[in-house]
Amino acid sequence: HELGHAIGLFHEQNRSDRDQYLTIYWQNIQSGMETQFAFLKPHLNLLLTSFVHVSIILYVNYAFSIDRT
């Protein structure tokens, strides 16, 4: 995961098209962690590949959750 960042990869959940693939339950995110799900700035948002559901650069589905169930 961190190696991906080192070579310039960004989290999949920050892509501008992520809402086509993911549902973010904002009310279930730990306070102060909402920025982990913010969209990338336009100059960084290069959609050169398809969204990858099994990417090592995508957080697990319960990351930063208040309730993991």
3-state secondary structure the chain: CHHHHHCCCCCHHHCCCHHHCCCCCHHHECCCCHHHHCCCCHHHCCCCCCCCCCCCCCCCCCCCECCCC
pLDDT tens figures, 19-31: 999 999 999 999 9
How many structural domains does the chain have?
A: 1
State yes or no: is 12 an active-site residue: no
- Domain extent at residue 12: 1-68
| 53 annotated to a ligand binding site | no
* Bridge partner list, 29: 65
| 11 annotated to a ligand binding site | yes
Q: Has this prediction a pTM greater than 0.85?
A: no
| % of the chain surpassing 70 pLDDT | 100
Catalytic residue among 2, 3, 35, 43: 2
